[in-house]
Each structure stands twice: as structure tokens, then as C-alpha cells.
Amino acid sequence: MPQSIIFSGPKGIGKSKLALTFSEQLLQDKKSITSHDLLSNFDTSSNSKKVYICKREFDEATNKYKSAISIDQIRKMKEFFSLSQTEYNWRIAIIDAADEMNESSSNAILKLLEEPPNKSIIILISHNYYSLKSTIISRCQKITLRPLNENEMGKFLSKEVNNQQEINLISSLSEGIPSLALSLTNEETLNTYNRLIDLVSNTENSTQSQIFDLIESQKSGNQSEASLDLIDLILILIRRVIRSLLNDEELITNDIESQMFGKIVDQSNMTIILAELYLDLEQTIARAKRVNIEKADISLNCLTKLKTVFRGKICL
């Protein structure tokens, strides 16, 4: 059993749930863990003292999540590992997500990985594997979680959606990510996505007030931490435009997407421009989140850049 593991894969694929379920099974001191065991439900409250879960803390003063996992949280993890092991066979810590550690906490966890306590396991959850320090990566076993294929996603969505056409569309939009698919079963989320397409398509006619209206509708929405927001939908749209420009035969579109994709003119270098924009937005979003910039301001920045790229590229 490796003492340090990285569960890597897209955000929303189920890494946290797998880490918790794996921990639960391991704490039962089984000789082997089957795939059936890993599909069982996990009650976090029942093992709160056995598994240390390290994630960004909520700041009551600012009413926001802190920008990073702090070194103090890693120190508390060390204290957790130093507790007596007479009651439990294993001590397990889950860092969710390791991408959100700052320089100090990264260095602190590296020391733990270099000299792991006896009968301990550290599980690092990573949405962006290559953002981790190479020294951390070299000390962990990597387990990659990949998106669901079309058949798997179809079975998953059939429990939530009755209409096969809607299942096909959501399956395509979600790109095999279960939590993303669940968010897209929400009619309000799909309406926001369609409004976004309409706004980007009408680059000449749309007004600043329409942009602010779309952003404000997200601020007033009752969204959970896991639900999709406008920033996520902007990134989804860019990926799907790129797939359309590359004539991806597996791309399933709705009517409003088809209309937009058909209006794009002057396609020379468009895929490269959009790919560069996507990377730029990802970096902008990451930097903005680190310093706790409001989501509305991030959305405005991303939307403005997206509309600039499409100006003159859409035939009205």
C-alpha cells in the first residue's frame, strides 16, 4: 500500500468521493478492496476522527473561502498523525485539493511525504496534476480518473432525465463529467448557457446592460459550491466552439448552438485564437480566485475578452 497517492482528473469527476470511500474501506482493515466496495456510500460523520480532511477554510469575517490551504492546516495534519494509533490501524489524510496549497503549505506537505509517519496514508486530490510541484509528484503514486464514456453517461443521466434527446445533449455538454452533467439537468443552468450564446453571437447589437444583466442573474441565483456558474459556462462554450471548428463528428448541439456555430466566418486561425484565449482565461480565473476577487468581476473580465475575440467573426 503506497503511503502517498494522487487522485488526478477533471474537477467534478468524483475524486473526493472515491478518496472517502477508499479510506472507509481501508479503515475496515480488509485484505482486499473490490470495485463493488468502492461504489458503496460513505458517511463522513461516522469516521470524522479517523480521516483528516484538509480543504480551504471558510472565513466568517469576509464570508468567503480562503484563497489557499494554509501551512497551519498542514501542521494540524502532522498533529493528527502523531496521535496514538492503538484505536485505529490506519491514519488517513485527504487534501482536497492539493492545487490549492500555497508555497508554504506545499513545502510543509513535502516534508511529510519525505518522511511519512508509520501506518499513514496521504491522499492528494488534484484537478490540475501538472500544477503540483515535481518533488511532490515524484513521491506519490498517481491514479487518474477519466471522464465517463457515452454509454456510461447515458446510464448515469437516465436516472435524472427521461428525454433521450436531452440526455444526448447534456452528455455532450458535460464531456463525461458527472457533477457537470447533474448541474446541466437544471433548467436554469441551460437557460443561462443559451443566454450566454445569444450574447456572444450578437456582438454588434448586445449592450453593456445585457452583459450586466446576465452576470447579475448569477449573483442572485441560489447556487451551491458544486453548481456551474457563468465562468464555467464560458469555458464550456469556448471548448465547444473549438470542437465545432475542428468538425468534431461526436459533437451534439442544441438549436441555439448550431445557429451560432453556423454564423462564424473568417475561421482562419480561429481554433488557435480560441485555444490561447482559453488558456488565458484559465490563468486569469486562477489568479483572481487566489486573491478572492468577486466572481461577478471575473465573469465580466472573461465575457469581455470572449466578445472581443468574436467581434467581426460572427455573421449577423
CATH of domain 4-144: 3.40.50.300
Average pLDDT estimate for 99-121: 91
- 3-state SS class at 251: coil
The predicted structure's pLDDT at residue 227: 61
Q: Could you give the CA distance from residue 296 to residue 218 in angstroms, rounded to a whole number?
A: 8
Residue at grid coordinates 439537468: 185
The predicted structure's pLDDT at residue 272: 92
- 210 burial (CB, 10 Å; 0-12 / 13-18 / 19+) is middle
The predicted structure's pLDDT at residue 225: 46
Q: 233-253 pLDDT, tens per residue? A: 999 999 999 999 999 988 888
- 3-state SS class at 241: helix
Q: Could you give the CA distance from residue 264 to residue 25 in angstroms, rounded to a whole number?
A: 52
Task: Examine the pLDDT at 224 and tell me if it is beyond 70.
Answer: no
DSSP, residue by residue, 278-308: HHHHHHHHHHHHHTT--HHHHHHHHHHHHHH
CA 251, 256, 259, 261: dihedral to nearest 10 degrees? -40
> What is the residue-averaged pLDDT of the chain?
85
Quick count: other Cβ atoms within 10 Å of Cβ 176? 19
Average pLDDT estimate for 278-304: 86
Task: Examine the pLDDT at 39 and tell me if it is beyond 90.
Answer: no
Q: 46-71 pLDDT, tens per residue? A: 555 678 999 999 888 877 788 889 99
Quick count: other Cβ atoms within 10 Å of Cβ 316? 8
Integer CA distances (angstroms), 266 to 65, 296, 313, in order:
43, 31, 6
The predicted structure's pLDDT at residue 76: 92
User: Of 144, 102, 119, 118, which Cα lies nearest the Cα of 6?
Assistant: 144
Split at pLDDT 50, 70, 90, the class of 15 is: very high
Tally of helices (H runs) and strands (E runs) in the chain: 14, 7
User: Domain residue spans in the chain?
Assistant: 4-144, 186-310
Q: 193-210 pLDDT, tens per residue? A: 998 998 888 766 656 777
Split at pLDDT 50, 70, 90, the class of 122 is: very high
185 neighbors 160 (Cβ within 8 angstroms): yes
Task: Examine the pLDDT at 81 and tell me if it is beyond 90.
Answer: no
Q: 147-180 pLDDT, tens per residue? A: 999 899 999 999 889 888 889 889 988 989 998 8
User: Of 57, 125, 134, 137, which Cα lies nearest the Cα of 92?
Assistant: 125
- pLDDT: which is higher, 83 or 232: 232
Q: Could you give the CA distance from residue 68 to residue 101 in angstroms, rounded to a whole number?
A: 5
Task: Examine the pLDDT at 116 and tell me if it is beyond 90.
Answer: no
The fraction of the chain above a pLDDT of 90, given in percent, is: 36
